[in-house]
């Protein structure tokens, strides 16, 4: 993007995020977990599924499977039944089992805290890797772009792209690095509580008041 466009987007983002901080001063990841492995599983299951439903499923899943070996040894069919409610359960079950085996056999049973290593795990892309790194590894190397963040970036003209990877690169130029981790969760709360993907009354949206063109876009 040009220097002029970048400057405008940075100024717009600063204004929008200022309002987000007022609206949601205490945000955090909504996926329940008690270990880095459980977080990794929960994020993998969250694809095309609400965090609420994932938490309902993992409440039982994490009680049933308490060791990495149990995830490695469970049958595809059994794991599919356990995670069925999260959707896309066949592919998710396959990826969780393969990832468990790779974490055990390649990384000594520990979820790696290196972006390049995380991206070698089946079913793990940059969104999942960014969440794991920021939440349990204390590393912030990018911005987790989920459906809420994608919709936000496009609506408020913070990107010229539509794929998560390219949107992330655009946002990393617009968002101050110190805010890369936390802003994702402010945007998620905005999407949940104020600006859903479906059509809604944008006249009550405080961010649309700051950037009126966003009121014309309901779905991306």
The answer to whether residues 117 and 156 belong to one domain is: no
Give the pLDDT mean for 115-139: 96
Query: Where is pLDDT greater, at 176 or 220?
Result: 176
Show the domain range for 118: 36-137
The answer to whether residues 115 and 166 belong to one domain is: no
Residues catalogued as catalytic: 127, 146
* pLDDT at residue 219 tops 60: no
Return the pLDDT at 183.
97
Euclidean distance between CA atoms 194 and 203, whole angstroms: 11
Euclidean distance between CA atoms 89 and 79, whole angstroms: 8
DSSP string, the chain: --HHHHHHHHHHHHHHHHHHHHH-SS----S--SSHHHHHHHHHHTTTS-HHHHHHHHHHHHHH--SHHHHHHS-HHHHHHHHGGGSSHHHHHHHHHHHHHHHHHHSTTS---SHHHHTTSTT--HHHHHHHIIIII----S----HHHHHHHHHTT--S--SHHHHHHHHHHHS-GGGHHHHHHHHHHHHHHT--SS---GGG-HHHHHSGGGGG----
The answer to whether residues 81 and 133 belong to one domain is: yes
Last residue of some domain: 87, 106, 137?
137
The answer to whether residues 129 and 188 belong to one domain is: no
The answer to whether residues 194 and 110 belong to one domain is: no
CB 111 within 8 A of CB 40: yes
Give the pLDDT mean for 189-207: 93
The answer to whether residues 40 and 127 belong to one domain is: yes
The answer to whether residues 133 and 149 belong to one domain is: no
Last residue of some domain: 120, 137, 154?
137
The answer to whether residues 182 and 124 belong to one domain is: no
The answer to whether residues 147 and 116 belong to one domain is: no
Euclidean distance between CA atoms 215 and 207, whole angstroms: 9
Q: Identify the band that residue 197 occupies on the pLDDT scale cut at 50, 70 and 90.
A: confident
| Percent of residues, the chain, with pLDDT higher than 90 | 93
Give the pLDDT mean for 83-100: 97
Give the pLDDT mean for 81-98: 97
Return the pLDDT at 218.
52
* pLDDT at residue 82 tops 90: yes
- pTM of the entire predicted model: 0.91
Give the pLDDT mean for 54-78: 97
Measured between alpha carbons, how far is residue 60 from residues 8, 128, 206 in Å? 47, 22, 39
- CATH number of the domain at 66, please: 1.10.340.30
Return the pLDDT at 1.
79
- CATH number of the domain at 11, please: 1.10.1670.10
Supply the angle between the helices 76-83 and 51-64 in degrees, to the nearest 10. Answer: 140
The answer to whether residues 125 and 152 belong to one domain is: no
The answer to whether residues 57 and 133 belong to one domain is: yes
The answer to whether residues 149 and 194 belong to one domain is: yes
Give the pLDDT mean for 81-90: 97
How many folded domains does the chain comprise?
Answer: 2
* pLDDT at residue 220 tops 80: no
- Residues 154-189 pLDDT 10s: 999 999 999 999 999 999 999 999 999 999 999 999
Last residue of some domain: 137, 160, 194?
137
Give the pLDDT mean for 80-84: 98
């Amino acid at each position: 993007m040009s220097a002029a466009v970048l400057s405008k987007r940075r100024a717009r983002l600063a204004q929008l995020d200022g309002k987000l901080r007022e609206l949601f001063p205490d945000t955090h990841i909504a996926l329940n977990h008690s270990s880095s492995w459980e977080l990794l599983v929960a994020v993998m299951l969250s694809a095309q599924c609400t965090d609420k439903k994932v938490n309902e499923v993992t409440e039982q899943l994490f009680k049933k499977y308490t060791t990495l070996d149990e995830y490695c040894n469970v049958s595809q069919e059994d794991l599919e039944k356990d995670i069925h409610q999260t959707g896309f359960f066949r592919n998710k079950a396959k990826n969780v089992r393969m990832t468990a085996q790779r974490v055990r056999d390649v990384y000594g049973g520990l979820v790696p805290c290196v972006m390049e290593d995380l991206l070698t795990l089946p079913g793990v892309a940059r969104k999942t890797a960014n969440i794991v790194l920021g939440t349990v590894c204390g590393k912030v190397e990018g911005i987790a772009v989920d459906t809420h963040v994608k919709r936000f970036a496009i609506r408020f003209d913070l990107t010229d792209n539509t794929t998560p990877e390219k949107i992330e690169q655009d946002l990393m130029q617009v968002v101050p690095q110190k805010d890369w981790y936390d802003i994702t969760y402010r945007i998620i709360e905005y999407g949940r509580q104020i600006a859903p993907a479906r059509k809604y009354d944008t006249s009550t949206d405080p961010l649309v008041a700051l950037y009126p063109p966003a009121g014309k876009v309901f779905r991306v």
